[in-house]
Amino acid sequence: MKRLLLAGLAAACAAPAFALTLAAVAPPSTVSDKTFNSALKGSWRDPANSARDRYRHPRQTLQFFGLRQDQSVIEITPGNGWYSEVLAPLLKDHGQYTAAVQSSGSADTLKQKFATDAPHYGKAQLLTFDPKSPKFGPDDSVDTVLTFRNVHNWVMADNAKAMFQGFYQVLKPGGTLGVVDHRGKPGETVDQIKTSGYLPTDYVIKLATDAGFTLVGQSEVNANHKDTKDYPQGVWTLPPTYKLGDTNRAKYQAIGESDRMTLRFIKPVAVARE
């Protein structure tokens, strides 16, 4: 017993002067359903994008990630600006929306989109990054980083670890990382399915936790149990890509868009111990 007490005392003395905690986890979203719905019905949205709301569930997804209108938010690789049409107007008065893109071509497309509607996109910013060594801004400077259906691309390009490290660096302690991606079948390994566009959920979680994040929630808001995940052209067989063209198009249309994991991570906060 004496030896155990001495060992415990020694361990306590050797403990660091700070600890990582989730005490400062961001509160739930303060954006009301009414405000979200107003943005989703905005006339500035591309009708083709609006038609996909039933598959992408933007209001429920952003509420799960704890979005607030006073946040600084970086969206990674926003493509044609699907989520930009929702996020930039929501953040324009009290927050900051930044679209992070890999190429100047993508930047030009979004720059034109933002420039054509200054009342809704006027404050939106753009930055470009190198996926092999990404830098998204000063360390500890951003409230939220969001990425939708991109992790599988980084895995195929072998850039995923660097990307998650970049997210960790730019986020403030207590900041949120929100991830949505195509979810593979349970039990499949990343090597078995990474060229299909699907990923194992535990693999994506490990990418984030290895970078220093803590998983604080998983949502089924983007689940699709019709998705069998065994198609000739992987996830791109399904809408909206329809890589097989008209072949079995009605079948894939009936399935809808992919089954997706929706994960929320927090960058822990260092707090002093007494």
232 occurs within a structural domain? no
Q: What was the pLDDT predicted at 105?
A: 77
249 occurs within a structural domain? no
Task: Name the most confidently modeled range: 19-28, 102-111, 176-185.
Answer: 176-185
If one counts every other C-beta atom within 10 angstroms of the C-beta of residue 265, the result is 28
Q: What was the pLDDT predicted at 39?
A: 96
Q: What was the pLDDT predicted at 122?
A: 85
HSE-up of 100 (CA within 13 Å, CB side)? 24
Domain that residue 187 falls in: 24-223+259-272
pLDDT top residue among 29 and 192: 192
Q: What are phi and psi of 5, to 5 degrees?
A: -65, -40
Work out the pLDDT band at 264, boundaries 50, 70, 90: very high
Q: Given the structure tokens 């349970």, which residue do they identify?
A: 186
Q: What was the pLDDT predicted at 30?
A: 82
- Please answer whether residues 163 and 194 qualify as being in contact, where contact means their C-beta atoms are separated by less than 8 angstroms: no
In total, how many domains does the chain have?
1
Q: Does the pLDDT at position 164 exceed 70?
A: yes
**pLDDT (mean) for 207-212:** 98
10 occurs within a structural domain? no
Q: What percent of the chain has pLDDT over 70?
A: 89
**pLDDT (mean) for 196-221:** 98
152 occurs within a structural domain? yes
Helix axes 160-170, 201-211, angle to 10 degrees: 50
Q: What was the pLDDT predicted at 9?
A: 38
Q: What was the pLDDT predicted at 45?
A: 96
Q: What are phi and psi of 232, to 5 degrees?
A: -60, -35
Q: What was the pLDDT predicted at 272?
A: 54
16 occurs within a structural domain? no
Work out the pLDDT band at 21, boundaries 50, 70, 90: very low
What tokens appear for 16 in the block?
A: 């660091």
Give per-residue burial for 69-91: e unless 16+ CB within 10 Å, then b.
Answer: bebbbbbbbbbebbbbbbbbbbb
Q: What was the pLDDT predicted at 102?
A: 93
Q: Does the pLDDT at position 11 exceed 70?
A: no
- Please answer whether residues 50 and 38 qualify as being in contact, where contact means their C-beta atoms are separated by less than 8 angstroms: no
Across the chain, mean pLDDT equals 90
231 occurs within a structural domain? no
Q: Given the structure tokens 């691309």, which residue do they identify?
A: 153
pLDDT top residue among 122 and 254: 254
Q: Does the pLDDT at position 15 exceed 50?
A: no
**pLDDT (mean) for 158-169:** 98
Q: What was the pLDDT predicted at 191?
A: 95
Q: What was the pLDDT predicted at 17?
A: 42
Q: Report the C-alpha gap between 90 and 68 in whole angstroms.
A: 9
User: For the domain that residue 28 is a member of, what is the CATH number?
Assistant: 3.40.50.150
Residue range 60-112, pLDDT digits in tens: 999 999 999 999 999 999 999 999 999 999 999 999 999 999 987 778 989 99
Q: Does the pLDDT at position 274 exceed 90?
A: no
Q: Which residue from 190, 224, 184 is spatially nearest to 206, judged by alpha carbons?
A: 190
Q: What is the pTM of this model?
A: 0.89
What DSSP string runs through the chain?
Answer: -HHHHHHHHHHHHHS-SEEEE-TTPPPPP---HHHHHHHHT-TTS-HHHHTTHHHH-HHHHHHHTT--TT-EEEEE--TTTTTHHHHHHHHTTTSEEEEEESSHHHHHHHHHHHHTTHHHHTT-EEEE--TTS---SSTT-EEEEEEES-HHHHHHHT-HHHHHHHHHHHEEEEEEEEEEEEBPPTT--HHHHGGGT-B-HHHHHHHHHHHT-EEEEEE-TT--TT-----TTGGGGSTTT-TTTTTTHHHHHHH-SPPEEEEEEE--EEEE--
Q: What was the pLDDT predicted at 271?
A: 58
- Please answer whether residues 29 and 66 qualify as being in contact, where contact means their C-beta atoms are separated by less than 8 angstroms: yes
Q: Does the pLDDT at position 261 exceed 70?
A: yes
Q: Report the C-alpha gap between 269 and 67 in whole angstroms.
A: 19
